[in-house]
Amino acid sequence: MINSISIAEWKVFLKWNLIQTAAPYLSSKFVNESFKFQGTVLAGKKEMKPRYKRVQGSTDEALGEALGKLYVEKYFDDKSKKRVNEMVDNLIAAYRVRIESRDWMSAETKVQAQLKLDKIIKKLGFPDKWIDYTALTITKDSYWKNISAAREFQYKRMLDKIGKPVDRMEWGMTPPTVNAYYNPTSNEIAFPAGIMQVPFFDVNADDAFNYGVMGSIIGHELTHGFDDQGSQFDADGNLKMWWTETDYKNFTDKTKLIIEQFDAFVAIDTLHVKGELTQGENIADLGGLTMAYYAYQKSLNGKKSPLMAGFTGEQRFFLAWVRRKKKFFLERRGGGGEKKKSVFFFCGGGEGGFVKLGKLKILIIFFFIKKNCFFFFFFFFFFIFFFEIFFFGKS
């Protein structure tokens, strides 16, 4: 590409890149003009987020773990961490029982599935080791100057990783993020402190509520380890077949039922959901709720669930889940204004798109590193970064 495109064309491209990257952080004229194309034409948004939210997002992007440290001091205590830890343990225990009781899976594959659960890396609330920002200088002079300094800092951090062992304890999300993820290439689940807040989790609420909402989210992420894509990665995060041939065929036969079920759903007017494309999220949603229910049962230790306001724990479990889904559905289908994605495509959180794009991103980044094309690597990274923010948001 370097040889086939003229210097003059490269100059235009680089100028355009700099302007469109800087525009959201300059004066209102630039910000509005940038939103007119990037926000409305490309992302289909009706209105811009208020400035305080945009600045908050930039701070999270630039200094996520410094901001996160302050955030967890204020909003995430040991009591919450202990409670969520117990929930995760009960969810994994429910998974173990469920795997053992599957009559379509051989003993051989069950051993590998249990090993995958043994080796799962659990990240709860915030990282054990915080990023050191001392090399980054933030001043009161210029917003854009701070943003570029932060990007340079992140870029150098990434380059610094080349040739070194993978840091498996590094986080892919910042602590205040209201989201969660499963990463198949490292077999890890992460739940930032930001999602462990009302309305998803309440340290003062009873287990029926917490398992119905937070439990089903934990179950959703765990199930991603065994969905159509996660199932192809082994306990160490390698793309390696760990199922026997017959078991994997049994598994894919079962996923076909979910594909058919979602194919039948009408998303908008006469437009049907493409079950093949959404199966990962659908498997995770169904599996997550099922596992959370069994985990709730386990938390009762054989006792009957307490009756509250005339409802049993089991009833309150499902009521809590439905309330969350209803809120989510309304926000995604127009109530929120900012997100126009169909709930069927992103049910369970935007992280579905993020993780899928993440794999592609990793592959392309490795391609560039192999070819020593750091120049393209640099532009690609920032292009993808904006693409993700505009199309998938952060929730």
The residues facing 181 across adjacent strands are 190
By the rule CB under 5 A, 289 interacts with Zn ion: no
Residue in 60, 188, 221, 227 annotated catalytic: 221
- State yes or no: residue 180 binds Zn ion (CB under 5 A): no
Residue 349 CB, nearest distance to Zn ion (Å)?
5
Q: Is 285 known to be catalytic?
A: yes
Decide: is 287 part of the binding site for Zn ion (CB under 5 A): no
Half-sphere exposure of 157 (CA within 13 A, CB side): 15
The stretch among 172-180, 315-323, 352-360, 366-374 that binds Zn ion (CB under 5 A) is: 352-360
Query: Which token pair is 36?
Result: 């007119």
Question: Is the CB of 215 or the CB of 352 nearer to Zn ion?
Answer: 352
* Residue 348 is a binding residue for Zn ion (CB under 5 A): yes
Choice between 92 and 284, CB closer to Zn ion: 284
Q: Which stretch binds Zn ion (CB under 5 A): 27-35, 143-151, 283-291, 326-334?
A: 283-291
> How far apart are CB 351 and Zn ion at their closest, in Å?
5
DSSP, residue by residue, 273-304: P-HHHHHHHHHHHHHHHHHHHHHHHHHTTTSP
Measured CA to CA, the distance from residue 218 to residue 88 in angstroms comes to 7
Using rule CB under 5 A, residue 358 touches Zn ion: no
Of the candidates 207, 247, 285, 351, the residue annotated as catalytic is 285
Contact 358, 280 (CB under 8 A): no
Q: Which of 352, 354, 377, 393 binds Zn ion (CB under 5 A)?
A: 352
Distance, CA of 185 to chain centre: 14
- Please, what is the end-to-end C-alpha distance for the chain in angstroms? 36
Q: Which is nearer to Zn ion, 71 or 354 (CB)?
A: 354
Burial class (CB within 10 angstroms; exposed 0-12, middle 13-18, buried 19+) of 62: buried
Q: Contact region for Zn ion (CB under 5 A) — 94-102, 208-216, 312-320, 341-349?
A: 341-349
6 φ/ψ angles, rounded to the nearest 5 degrees: -70, 160
Using CA atoms, how far apart are residues 311 and 321, in angstroms rounded to an integer? 14
DSSP string, 100-143: HT-TTS-HHHHHHHHHHHHTPEEEEES-SS----TT----SS-H
Show the site string, 234-273: x = touches Zn ion by CB under 5 A, - = not.
Answer: ----------------------------------------
Q: How far is the CB of 231 from Zn ion (least distance, A)?
A: 14
Asked if 284 is part of the footprint of Zn ion (rule: CB under 5 A), the reply reads yes
Least Cα distance to 293 among 325, 326, 317 occurs for 317
CB of 288 to Zn ion, least distance (A): 8
Looking at 87-95, 149-157, 293-301, 340-348, which segment touches Zn ion (CB under 5 A)?
340-348
Site for Zn ion contains 230 (CB under 5 A):
no
The residues that are catalytic are: 221, 285
List contacts with Zn ion (CB under 5 A).
Answer: 281, 284, 348, 352
